Structure 1
Amino acid sequence: MRAVPVKPKSSLMYRIMKHKILYLMLLPCIAFFIIFSYIPMGGVILAFKEYQFNKGILGSPWIGFEYFKAFFSNYQSGQLIRNTLLISCIKMFLGLPFPILLALMFNEIRSKRFRGITQSIAYLPHFLSWVIVVGLMQRIFAPDTGIINELITFFGGDGSTFFMMESKYFYQLMFGSHIWQSIGWDSIIYLAAIAGISPELYEAAKIDGASKWREIWHITLPGMRLTIAILFILGLGNILQAGFDQIYLMRTPGNMEVADILDTYIIRVGLQNGQYGYATAVGLMQGLIGLILVISANRASKRFLDESVW
């Protein structure tokens, strides 16, 4: 009788068949990215064409890198890039410790009931759209009738300040609302990283007489290092995307000089002015710079920290 060849356990088909249920669950996610991320990438050729409605994308004439030259020769390009980088760096670098600290605090709560309540409260803002969040901010910081201005008036100050209109308050309001809306949801990933740390390490530290702060510093934080590095590397890919929804809604004529970013500029020239090729070129530049930064940060992390995404 002829023996049936057995596929090696390391083969791709063997792993797929073994975990076929997991791969089936993954199919909707793959389909989502194919439909909404990879197929639309064919439209990037608009960045190198002078789009004409009667000829379509493929029939429009090629113009090379003219749109890229036009953007960098535009007097607004420097301000747009500067505003985008500043807002992104504030969110990325200043905002990084907050979800980590919140995850550490949740991890130290011993009452399951109290922890469940506080986590639910912290997660709730994530499910509010920026339309609602900015609407609340406009009510809270409104001149004369806003809660903040009423408190200022109560303590003898001038309660007529329009915080949302003045550029000097923009960064504080932007960062505060960003942290309030994202801190709870972002802490979930760090809590998962903490849950993966072996309890035996904490038991050994207690036997050695380590305090709670020592346990956090020498066990918990090093155990979260890989997660922190991966999220930071992935976050660099969005360094030129400062959060369109939030910034677009927070823009006012008074803070336009600090609130106008690349994303809002793309919407303005692309959809409102109909310059589709020019807007595509600016968006393509954002993506390429993000890709370069992710690859560079991943290599640096692999070299110096021995941790990387791939």
Structure 2
Amino acid sequence: MQPVTSSVSSSVKPKSKLWKSISTHRYLYMMLLPCVIFFLIFSYIPLGGLLMAFKDYKFNAGILGSPWVGLKYFEAFFNSYEAKQLIRNTLIISGIKLFLYLPFPIILALMFNEIRSKWFKNFSQSILYLPHFLSWVVVMGLTQRILAPDTGLLNEIIAKLGGDGSTFYMMEANYFYQVMFSSFVWKSIGWDSIIYMAAIAGVSPDLYEAAKIDGASKLREIWHITLPSIAPTVVILFILSLGSILSAGFDQIYMLRTPGNMHLADILDTYIIKVGLQQGQYGYATAVGMMQGIIGFILVILANRISRKVSDTSLW
């Protein structure tokens, strides 16, 4: 009978410790509760709607009552003439935002770290953080005003300098990527630099003092101390960003779409809205969206595994 008693007592102790820990930190759990409820309602419960990707959804039957169609919608998408162009455009725009944009917030964080005037540092940070809180509708409205033909600020400056001030930048495909990237950097760079600034603040001052004693310049301190110290943070954020490699950002691209650049601005996000909400093909749109999530999930797992083997830095 002794082994039974010991097994029962061993199973009770972890439970009692768990409830004791929850009771001790109950206020922290209460603060966490709204976040848990938010993700439960808006992220986990809607996952049940993914069933529509495998069903011929009908309003009168509902999701569960609609007939199964298997992988019909996935096959239809990859067999469509639009699939190749949509995937190519999405990967190009996502690649620009992921790879070309990556150094910008890091450089900005390094610049903020070198500012010694406290009031100027706070002022410049506030100015650069502000665009993050503007919606893409506002940002694109400002962009259209600046780039408008004849009356736009840029065209007026070019005309004053003796150039052609009637270029319609928003309509010409040659300027699509430049306008997209510059507006994305302006809106995101300030806010995205915060986490890098936090990582830089965690670097030990003793390392900089030792470098100064050895006669290292400021650039050498940044290259040999700051950047290696924040490298794990950069890797983690890069891995997380890979999850949205097939989501190039609906709001911005939808506002940028014009008849002149449509062949470059049509991406999977805009396509899902078009076939789902405008054409009522809910199952087909769900299948395309599900494909985005699955590919992003696979890329995050692969990148995390490679990073763990190469640099010992990973999400788990």
Q: TM-score range by the shorter chain?
A: over 0.9
Matched, 1:39 2:45: yes
Cα distance between partner residues in 1 of 2:67 and 2:170: 44
Matched, 1:305 2:311: yes
- Superposed, 1:242-281 pairs within 5 Å as 242-281=248-287
Q: Which has the higher helix share?
A: 2
Contact 1:7 1:14 in 2 (8 A): no
Matched, 1:236 2:242: yes
Matched with 2:62 is 56
Out of 142, 152, 168, the residue aligned to residue 136 of structure 1 is 142
Q: Which amino acid aligns with 2:273?
A: I
What are structure 2's unaligned runs of at least 5 residues?
A: 1-9
Cα distance between partner residues in 2 of 1:83 and 1:143: 26
Cα distance between partner residues in 2 of 1:70 and 1:297: 29
Matched, 1:176 2:182: yes
Q: Which amino acid aligns with 2:297?
A: L
1:178-237 Cα offsets, whole Å, 9 max, x none, are 000000000000000011111111112112221111111111111111110110000000
Matched with 1:114 is 120
Higher mean alpha-carbon deviation, 17-26 vs 73-82, is at 17-26
Matched with 2:5 is none
Cα distance between partner residues in 2 of 1:181 and 1:17: 43
| Aligned residues between the structures | 306
Matched, 1:163 2:159: no
TM-score, length-normalised on structure 2? 0.94
Matched with 1:194 is 200
Q: For residue 7 of structure 1, report the CA deviation from its aligned partner.
A: 6.0
Cα distance between partner residues in 2 of 1:279 and 1:43: 11
Cα distance between partner residues in 1 of 2:281 and 2:288: 11
Q: For residue 28 of structure 1, report the CA deviation from its aligned partner.
A: 1.1
Matched, 1:29 2:35: yes
Q: For residue 22 of structure 1, report the CA deviation from its aligned partner.
A: 2.4
Q: For residue 26 of structure 1, report the CA deviation from its aligned partner.
A: 1.4
Out of 66, 71, 86, the residue aligned to residue 65 of structure 1 is 71
Cα distance between partner residues in 2 of 1:20 and 1:211: 50
Matched, 1:287 2:310: no
Q: For residue 295 of structure 1, report the CA deviation from its aligned partner.
A: 0.3
What are structure 1's unaligned runs of at least 5 residues?
A: none
Q: For residue 47 of structure 1, report the CA deviation from its aligned partner.
A: 0.3
Higher mean alpha-carbon deviation, 202-211 vs 116-125, is at 202-211
Q: For residue 115 of structure 1, report the CA deviation from its aligned partner.
A: 0.5
Matched with 2:80 is 74
Higher mean alpha-carbon deviation, 139-148 vs 203-212, is at 203-212
Contact 1:81 1:262 in 2 (8 A): yes
Cα distance between partner residues in 2 of 1:43 and 1:18: 38
1:58-112 Cα offsets, whole Å, 9 max, x none, are 1100000000000001100000000000000000000000000000000011111
Q: CA RMSD of the aligned region, Å?
A: 1.7
Secondary structure of 1:224's aligned partner: helix
Matched with 1:99 is 105
Out of 221, 224, 230, the residue aligned to residue 218 of structure 1 is 224
Q: Which amino acid aligns with 1:64?
A: G
Percent identity of paired positions between Structure 1 and Structure 2: 71
Secondary structure of 2:149's aligned partner: coil
TM-score, length-normalised on structure 1? 0.95
Out of 145, 154, 177, the residue aligned to residue 148 of structure 1 is 154
Q: Which amino acid aligns with 2:213?
A: I
Cα distance between partner residues in 2 of 1:76 and 1:158: 36
